[in-house]
Structures are given as structure tokens and as C-alpha cells.
Copies of this chain bind each other. A is one copy, B any other.
Amino acid sequence: MSDPLDTRVDLGGIALRNPVLTASGTFGYGSELAAFLDLRRIGGFVAKSLTLEPRAGNPPPRIAETPSGMLNAISLENVGVDAFIRDKLPALPEGVTVIASVFETEIERYAEVCKRLAGVPRVAGIEVNASCPHVKSGGIEFGQQPEVLAALVRATRRATALPLLVKLSPNVTDIAAMARVCEGEGASGISLINAVQGLEVDVETRRPVLSNGLGGLSGPAIRPIALRMVWQAARAVRIPICGIGGIASAEDAVKFLLCGATAVQVGTANYLNPAVAGEIADGIAAYAERHGYRRVADLRGALELPSRRSP
């Protein structure tokens, strides 16, 4: 082949070396896994979601294994936006692309976290995690109500000039409608999906396994749901999409790109193999070369639909 493969993609104004990121909450603040993976090998990483103040999270048990998946109820545990800027960012080597994730319980607080991240040199973009219970709506997630989601995107969009990704909750009837809300309010891109709400029970104690009762289901089990939602969202909007959910191999990642994602995030799979994101990046490149692509970006949306009927 003449030209080398171009692996770069543009995720709503965030220039990525390749389309593989690690997902929020699954790669810490970026330096925990330095022994296993050089983050400069992948497109970038999304840091653990940040709140205005440091938060302690839920009591244990916080995790439970399920068939091909896991439930988590970590809740808001994080060091807070200020400690992130002060302590965590400087610990990262130059050349690592960092996306800061933000979640809060009120829209104003979301906006305030975004403001604090403005002008921080190492932050390439912000991901707004809309899967957080909205206190004022009695615990319903921000991302479950179109009007609340619209207000959240509007407020955070105003609060920062950085590329703004909105991470959607999968616990909705119509993901395409939610994607359109984000596009309408000026989001630079959409990340999906966050964990699916689930429950696991211990029949011997007759209690939920998690201290919190409900938790978020992640891992390979949810991949078909995530892929469907990415495909639906990609058909509904023009802003780029970052596909998330159960990705554990390059083949999984390629499926999301074919369904219309510009980039992907690897979550739960990091726990099993902390170097997996690098292997996925290499595997996507190998796939693209094997199939005669010059640019990995061209994989986006290359799914051929059945002629008989559209899915």
C-alpha cells in the first residue's frame, strides 16, 4: 500500500489520534494504569465524572457481577473539579488527550463545573454526564426528560467554549429524540450509552446485592442495546457520536463505527485487561487496512442496510 493509514478522527472539535477513548469511571484520572497502557497510544481518555465538591459515593457493596456484565452503584464519588485540575491533570504526560466529565445534581452546578474547566490547558473537551438523578425531578435522570435535558445542554453550552459532548442515558423510550435535543441546543457531539439501570438480588440474604439497591448495568451484555441506540441516534442527528457499551474487542468497536459512531469508548473491559484500549486501537487500524480503507474516519456509517427493508 502507498499511503499509511490515517487513523485520526475529529470528535466534535476534539482532534483524536485514533477513535478509541477510555470511558468515564473506568480509567480513573489517567495515571492509575500507566503500568499497563500508555494513554498516548489511544485517542484519549474521559476522566471520572467530576462534581463541584469532592464526593464520597455510596457504601459498599458497590458492584455485582451479572451474566456478561456487571452492575455498579459508585454514585458520585470523585475528587472534585478543583483537585482534578490541581493534582490529577499535571500528573499526566504531555500528549494525552483528556476529556473532563461532569455530573451534578442541579443544572447550575453542572454549569459551574464547566466554567471551572474553562481555560485549563490540558482539557480538550467536556463530556456532560446526563445519567445523573435530577434532585428537582425527584430522582429522574436529567437525560430521561427532554425539557430537562434541553435546559442542561443549554446551560453547559453557555458555560464553556470547549467542545461539549453530552452523554445520554439509555433508560429512555426514544433515544433519537434525546439526541435531537442535544443537537438543537448546540452540543458538539453525543456520547452513548451510559449504563442501563438494573437490579441484582441475593436469594440467600433476600436483599439487593448493591447497598444502593439499583445499579448501572455495563459490559458485553448491553452491547446490542448500545449498538442499536448509536445507530438510531446517528440517523437522527448530524453531530458526531461517540459509541459506548460493552466494547471489548476491535471487532466490537468497528461495529459501532459502522453504525455511525465517529469514535468509541471502552469501559468495563478495562477492568479485565487494562491494556485492552490499545489493542482495540491497533485492531481497528488492522481492520481498516484489511478492508482497503485509507482513513479510519471512513468507517463511520459504512453499514449497508438490508435491501428488503431498513432495520
Smallest CB gap from A309: residue in B: B212
CB distance B228 to A198 under 8 Å?
A: yes
Copies per complex? 2
Chain B CB within 8 A of A272 CB: no
CB distance A306 to B211 under 8 Å?
A: yes
CB distance A214 to B311 under 8 Å?
A: yes
Q: How far is the CA of A149 from the CA of B59 in the complex (A)?
A: 39
Q: Per-residue 0/1 for A190-230: is the Cβ within 8 Å of any B Cβ (1 yes, 0 no)?
A: 00000011111101011110111111010111111101100
Interface residue SS majority, chain A: mixed
With A211-B308, A308-B211 already in contact, the answer to whether A227 and B198 are too (CB < 8 A) is: yes
CB distance B173 to A213 under 8 Å?
A: no
Contact of A223 among B67, B205, B255, B305 (CB under 8 A): B67
With A201-B303, A311-B214 already in contact, the answer to whether A71 and B206 are too (CB < 8 A) is: no
CB distance A208 to B311 under 8 Å?
A: yes
Minimum CB–CB distance from A224 to chain B (whole Å) comes to: 3
CB distance A201 to B255 under 8 Å?
A: yes
Q: Per-residue 0/1 for A283-311: is the Cβ within 8 Å of any B Cβ (1 yes, 0 no)?
A: 00001000000000000001111101111
A-B pairs, 7 with minimum CB distance: A213-B311, A198-B224, A67-B220, A68-B68, A221-B221, A199-B228, A67-B68
Residues of A within 8 A of B (CB): 59, 66-69, 71, 144, 171-174, 196-201, 203, 205-208, 210-215, 217, 219-225, 227-228, 231, 246, 251, 254-255, 258-259, 287, 302-306, 308-311
